[in-house]
Amino acid sequence: MPLRFAFALASTVTLFGPPMLRAQDTEKLTLRQAVTLALQNSREIALARMQYTVALNAAGVNLADFRPNLYTGSGAAYTSGFPSTVGGQAPALFSLSYTQSVFNLPLRGQLKAAEDRAASQKIELDHTRDAVIVRTATTYLELAKVRHSLELLRGEGASAEKIAGVTRERAEAGQELPIEITRSQLTLARIRERIIHLEGRDAILTQQLQNLTGMPEQHSVEVETQETSFAVDEQESDLIAAALKTSPFVTEAEKERDARYHLLKGAKGEFWPTVSAVGLYQVLGKFNNYSEFFNHFQRNNVTVGVDVHIPIFSSKTFADVKLAKSQLSEAELALGNRRQEVRADVLQKARDVRELDAAHEVARLDLQLAQESLQILQTKLDEGRATLRDIEQARLDENDKWVAFLDAEFSRQQGQLSLLQATGQLAKVFQ
């Protein structure tokens, strides 16, 4: 009875235990779900978002000069002679000062430049987001390809073992040379080597996908192995126009050019007066000997007005303008170079995609030919005009063509994703 009970318990664990573990430990992901999780959990995106916030706050520091600023304070100092502080004001028990820049072209130029650079940082955030999408999609698609290839190679290994067995039997019967045994064993060893390589790649890609999506490491990942295409049906001229409009490299160069332009305007603004609204309230004390220098003492003093600075001659202003002009020229040249690089890059990527499409079609037809050849051999086997070894060899060829087709498909997907990223259309695909 105890033995039967133990057997029944073991049977129960065998039948019901593994499915429950698989339900807990296996996570099935679609490509879109993987990308969504990666965007939610990416540390790179979080860092880029924080850098954008820092850039906005830096622009806010420059804006603060054009907003009201109140300061208060008190202190103590010894004076001998006319009552005055180091700054030239009358010593006071309590003071409250107000300043606000009203017209200041140099500060205005710095503010505009900071806003342009903050906008450039927002573009960098979008670029980082696209990079995460491409990396996640590429990892997912390669993992799907590797697992499909593993299935094929394991079947190929079974066929290779059958061929090795048949070859050994024929060699023992004197119908094959001994070298054929070595050749069949070499084929089987190469298949096993490829399987070991792909299993290692499977483990690496699985971990990378878990890191990208934020999935726990103890969970296994199940991916879809169906064919996915990211074809772009546009002319090269349209692709180049889209890239020039949306490329983060071009847009960042444009924002830097705009920032340099505003800095030049600010440098030229140093020739103009600056106007600030000012105010001062002071509470004075008699112990500062005001009565010895003034006929009338008033404890509460208020000053409200504007502070105007008019430049007459400043060598630094001319130097600042000269520097700003050279920096603007540098930024314009850099922008032109960026546009030229983007045109060449998109044109090359578009041509690469066409070549990859052609290679994909060749691999598809090669696979189709191998499948049709296998069907013909199967018919011949049924008629007694082919051997089992011929069938297994044909299956080996078909599996090889399948793996080559999967490689061509993955290369094409990589090229399409790269082109979508370069033309700013990547986000539309994974909306």
Task: Determine the pLDDT at residue 16.
Answer: 30
**CATH class in words for 28-67+104-272+311-424:** mainly alpha
Report the alpha-carbon distance of residue 91 to residue 216 in Å, rounded. 67
- Measured between its terminal Cα atoms, the distance across the chain in Å is 62
Task: Determine the pLDDT at residue 417.
Answer: 92
pLDDT tens for residues 86-132? 566 777 777 888 888 888 888 888 888 888 888 888 888 989 999 99
Task: Determine the pLDDT at residue 364.
Answer: 94
pLDDT tens for residues 185-202? 888 898 899 899 999 999
Three-state DSSP string of the chain: CHHHHHHHHHHHHHHHHHHHHHHHHEEEECHHHHHHHHHHHCHHHHHHHHHHHHHHHHHHHHHHHHCCEEEEECCCCCCCCCCCCCCCCCCCCEEEEEEEEEECHHHHHHHHHHHHHHHHHHHHHHHHHHHHHHHHHHHHHHHHHHHHHHHHHHHHHHHHHHHHHHHHHHHHCCCCCHHHHHHHHHHHHHHHHHHHHHHHHHHHHHHHHHHHHCCCCCCEEEECCCCCCCCCCCCHHHHHHHHHHHCHHHHHHHHHHHHHHHHHHHHHHHHCCEEEEEEEEEECCHHHCHHHCCCCCCCEEEEEEEEEECCCCCHHHHHHHHHHHHHHHHHHHHHHHHHHHHHHHHHHHHHHHHHHHHHHHHHHHHHHHHHHHHHHHHHHHHCCCCCHHHHHHHHHHHHHHHHHHHHHHHHHHHHHHHHHHHCCCHHHHCC
Burial of 402 (0-12, 13-18, 19+ CB in 10 A): buried
Task: Determine the pLDDT at residue 293.
Answer: 65
**Contact 417/390 with Cβ under 8 angstroms?**
no
pLDDT at 408 over 90: yes
**Contact 167/184 with Cβ under 8 angstroms?**
yes
pLDDT band (50, 70, 90) for residue 1: very low
Q: What is the mean pLDDT of residues 35-43?
A: 91
**Contact 82/293 with Cβ under 8 angstroms?**
yes
Whether pTM > 0.95 for this model: the answer is: no
More confident of the two residues 397 and 391:
397
Burial 160-189 (b: 16+ CB within 10 A, else e): bebbbebbbebbeeeebeeebbeebeebbe
Among 85-99, 132-146, 207-221, the range with the most confident prediction by mean pLDDT is: 132-146
Among the residue ranges 147-161, 193-207, 280-294, 417-431, the one predicted with the least confidence is: 280-294
Report the alpha-carbon distance of residue 420 to residue 424 in Å, rounded. 6
**Contact 163/185 with Cβ under 8 angstroms?**
no
Report the alpha-carbon distance of residue 163 to residue 157 in Å, rounded. 10
Task: Determine the pLDDT at residue 333.
Answer: 95
More confident of the two residues 155 and 22:
155
Radius of gyration of the chain, Cα coordinates, nearest whole angstrom = 38
Q: Is the dihedral angle over the CA atoms 286, 289, 295, 298 positive or is it negative?
A: negative
pLDDT band (50, 70, 90) for residue 20: very low
More confident of the two residues 280 and 88:
280
pLDDT band (50, 70, 90) for residue 80: low
Q: For residue 403, give every residue at least 6 positions away whose Cβ sits within 8 Å of its Cβ, in sequence order, or none.
A: 149, 152, 153
More confident of the two residues 340 and 61:
340
CA-wise closest residue to 426 among 143, 214, 144, 138: 138
Q: Is the dihedral angle over the CA atoms 209, 212, 213, 218 positive or is it negative?
A: positive
pLDDT at 294 over 80: no
pLDDT band (50, 70, 90) for residue 237: confident
Give domain limits for the chain.
28-67+104-272+311-424, 69-103+274-310
